[in-house]
Chain A
Amino acid sequence: MHVEVDSLDKSFGPTRVLKGCSLGIDRGEVVTLLGPSGCGKTTLLRCIAGFHVPEEGRVVIGGRDMTLVPPWRRDVGMIFQSYALFPHLDVRRNVEYGLSVRRVARAERDRRVAKAIEIVSLGGLADRYPSQLSGGQQQRVAIARVLVLEPTVLLLDEPFNALDAKLRYAMQVELRKLVKNLGITTIFVTHDQSEALTLSDRVAVMRGGEIEQVAAPLGVYDTPASDYVADFIGSANAIAGEARAGRLEIAPGVGLASRVEGGAVAIVRPENLRVEPIESETDDAWCGRVGFVRALGATVEYEVEVPGRDAVKVLALRLASDDVLELGQVVRVSLRDPDACPVLPAPAR
């Protein structure tokens, strides 16, 4: 483990934000922290950077207990959401800042600054001030300013929020390549699950100050640890029921193999469902009416209202020659692959 967060507790006044939060990250690994607003992502990151001192628990970096080490003595680079560039320094001196604070010799300083500026391709802009740069360029300066110090750990708090979708995607790819090439252990906070899936080796899903699950991107998607994770990563139909004799019935005549007995919840991904128009609803099959249609081009999302049960979300691929179902159309819902639906114990209420 390169970075080890061990049962951190952090409160602000009466609110306990981190509740025994633990997370281990290997050297060179890229981990994203994903979770709803207010779950404590920034707080966890700031504990690792040293801006917060947790009341309980430890932060260990490279085998050293860093819990009580001030931020300026940790070998941890942080990219702030607001970039936090120094407005009174030009790009070169922004990038040079960490070296000049450390009194690195002039020649080496120049060499490393030039290299960092080149890595983030800011070549022609070295003499500009932050206010003369676009958001994407400021972002690069923030990255260069940290990389020039060759940190072993990099923390990023929603760094791409201010960028438009295209640039954002380009920066994600670029950043991933960069940290992988340099072998920097990276923790990346995001709201955006596609960003999490693109960027990371593992995804850590947070919930109310704790880590709910850590797994490879497809792992959290395919085998979520809870219906919370399933709903947070991608979209999911969480269908609750009573499992008996190794079987959970999620709809009339639709059963799933279950290792859970009693209260259980099945995670059924919308793309694992199929809808076909039928004449009229019957009681002995999974059917309902189309309650909502979202035609997105390549795909169509349907929400099917099933009498007496939760509505189900269905995702269908679409070609130009396909008809999109109408609102109110009676349809039959069926599973494509029953084995691809994890069945979890029902969450304690």
Chain B
Amino acid sequence: MSERRTAGARRYPRSPAEWVAGAILYALAGLSLVLLIGPSLIVIGISFTEKLYISFPPEGFTLRWYEAFLDHDQLIDSAFVSLRIAGWVTVLTLALGITSAFSLVRGRYRGRTALSAFMVSPQMLPGMVIGIAVLFFGSAFGFYQSNPMVIIAMTVFCLPFVVRIVMARLEVLDPSIEEASANLGAARTQTFFRVTLPMILPAALAAAAFAFIEAFDNLTVALFTASPRGRPLSVELYTLVQFDSSPIVAAISSLEILLALLMVFVIGRTIGLEKI
């Protein structure tokens, strides 16, 4: 084999087995990327089609499906319902997530490990199970399908995610930083607000942003807990596609993708994605 000089860094030679392993690795990574991004690209493509029904490949280019969405009062209303729900869920998961994570990591009481396993367990459950559970539990107390019920169920659904991320952050914090604060004269609550909270907030906010997106577009939880009137967007869309296959659904999905990307972009710019 002749030695080749390249402009880049020199490497030690690779064995054929290494070469094959590398090729397989890249192929798999490429495949997952296609599987992850492909559907989104297809949806975005369809949203600009001139055809009257969902079909691929799209034909022509038009913005009429976006206009149709903006003109569709019921859909717009439900989008605002979803935004309100997502806002509440974000606030609730932040408040509950930070306090419970703090107690689970810094507390000294019996059954702490059991409790923390319990706290994060809803993440193992399908959204449907949580939706049904909250529905039955609520109706036992005369509390029926409504937006507050969606908010509660969605909070249960999203909370473990926030708790887990905040716990992970707290666990790597050097406890002597909080001790130093106490040593400098800060009582417990002062230490929490001046030292602990600022150090875990970026991670908590990033987690809450994902809770926002989840609460905005989750269907399974909302399906069982939303009232028939003033439904969130996900449920509204679900019923829409049952008898209407117009590309308006693709337009709305594309807007949701845009919202998620915007969120990721903002987090990346302010907090840093590596915090999650």
Out of B174, B186, B187, B190, name the residue touching A84 (CB < 8 Å).
B174
Stretch at the interface among A28-36, A71-79, A277-285, A335-343: A71-79
Cβ–Cβ < 8 Å partners of B195 in chain A:
86
Q: Quick check: is B185 within 8 A (CB to CB) of the other chain?
A: yes
Cβ–Cβ < 8 Å partners of A50 in chain B:
182
A149 near B184 (CB under 8 angstroms)?
yes
Q: Quick check: is B179 within 8 A (CB to CB) of the other chain?
A: yes
A49 near B183 (CB under 8 angstroms)?
yes
Cβ–Cβ < 8 Å partners of B181 in chain A:
86, 97, 101
Count contacts on B: residues with CB < 8 A to the other chain.
17
Contacts known (A86-B181, A86-B195, A101-B194); A72 close to B176, Cβ less than 8 A = no
Cβ–Cβ < 8 Å partners of B186 in chain A:
72, 97, 101
With A and B bound together, what is the CA distance between A73 and B186 in angstroms? 9
- CB 8 Å contact bits of B168-203 with A (1 = contact, 0 = none): 000000101101111111110010001100110000
**8 Å CB contacts to B: which residues of A78-135?**
78, 80-82, 84-88, 97-98, 101-102
B252 to chain A, nearest CB (A): 40
B184 near A101 (CB under 8 angstroms)?
yes
With A and B bound together, what is the CA distance between A78 and B182 in angstroms? 10
B59 to chain A, nearest CB (A): 54
Contacts known (A72-B187, A98-B184); A80 close to B198, Cβ less than 8 A = no
Count contacts on A: residues with CB < 8 A to the other chain.
26
A78 near B185 (CB under 8 angstroms)?
no
B175 to chain A, nearest CB (A): 9
Cβ–Cβ < 8 Å partners of A76 in chain B:
183
Contacts known (A97-B184, A145-B184); A71 close to B198, Cβ less than 8 A = no
B179 near A102 (CB under 8 angstroms)?
no
With A and B bound together, what is the CA distance between A97 and B199 in angstroms? 15
What are 11 of the A-B contact pairs (CB < 8 Å)? A51-B179, A71-B179, A72-B185, A76-B183, A81-B176, A82-B174, A86-B177, A97-B181, A98-B184, A101-B181, A146-B184
A60 to chain B, nearest CB (A): 19
With A and B bound together, what is the CA distance between A50 and B182 in angstroms? 9
Closest 8 A-B residue pairs measured CB to CB? Answer: A98-B184, A84-B180, A84-B176, A71-B182, A101-B186, A80-B176, A88-B198, A78-B183
With A and B bound together, what is the CA distance between A142 and B179 in angstroms? 13
- CB 8 Å contact bits of A188-228 with B (1 = contact, 0 = none): 00000000000000000000000000000000000000000
Q: Quick check: is A70 within 8 A (CB to CB) of the other chain?
A: yes
User: What residue of chain B has the Cβ atom nearest to residue A88's Cβ?
Assistant: B198
- CB 8 Å contact bits of A42-65 with B (1 = contact, 0 = none): 000000011100000000000000
Out of B176, B185, B190, B194, name the residue touching A149 (CB < 8 Å).
B185
Contacts known (A82-B174, A88-B199); A101 close to B190, Cβ less than 8 A = yes
User: What residue of chain A has the Cβ atom nearest to residue B180's Cβ?
Assistant: A84
Cβ–Cβ < 8 Å partners of B194 in chain A:
97, 101
Cβ–Cβ < 8 Å partners of B176 in chain A:
80-82, 84
Contacts known (A84-B174, A87-B199, A88-B198); A98 close to B185, Cβ less than 8 A = yes
B158 to chain A, nearest CB (A): 26
Given contacts A72-B183, A88-B198, 14 further A-B contacts (CB under 8 A): A72-B187, A78-B183, A82-B174, A86-B177, A86-B181, A86-B195, A87-B199, A97-B181, A97-B186, A101-B184, A101-B185, A145-B180, A145-B184, A149-B185
Cβ–Cβ < 8 Å partners of A87 in chain B:
177, 199
A83 to chain B, nearest CB (A): 8
User: What residue of chain B has the Cβ atom nearest to residue A74's Cβ?
Assistant: B183
Cβ–Cβ < 8 Å partners of B174 in chain A:
82, 84
With A and B bound together, what is the CA distance between A55 and B126 in angstroms? 49
User: What residue of chain B has the Cβ atom nearest to residue A76's Cβ?
Assistant: B183
B177 near A84 (CB under 8 angstroms)?
yes
A142 to chain B, nearest CB (A): 8
B200 to chain A, nearest CB (A): 10
With A and B bound together, what is the CA distance between A80 and B180 in angstroms? 8
With A and B bound together, what is the CA distance between A73 and B180 in angstroms? 13
With A and B bound together, what is the CA distance between A76 and B199 in angstroms? 25
B160 to chain A, nearest CB (A): 26
B86 to chain A, nearest CB (A): 28
User: What residue of chain A has the Cβ atom nearest to residue B197's Cβ?
Assistant: A88
A128 to chain B, nearest CB (A): 17
A138 to chain B, nearest CB (A): 12
User: What residue of chain B has the Cβ atom nearest to residue A142's Cβ?
Assistant: B180
**8 Å CB contacts to B: which residues of A123-159?**
142, 145-146, 149
B197 to chain A, nearest CB (A): 10
With A and B bound together, what is the CA distance between A50 and B185 in angstroms? 12
- CB 8 Å contact bits of A268-296 with B (1 = contact, 0 = none): 00000000000000000000000000000
B145 to chain A, nearest CB (A): 43
Cβ–Cβ < 8 Å partners of B183 in chain A:
49, 71-72, 76-78, 146
B179 near A80 (CB under 8 angstroms)?
yes
With A and B bound together, what is the CA distance between A49 and B179 in angstroms? 10
A58 to chain B, nearest CB (A): 20
**8 Å CB contacts to A: which residues of B57-78?**
none
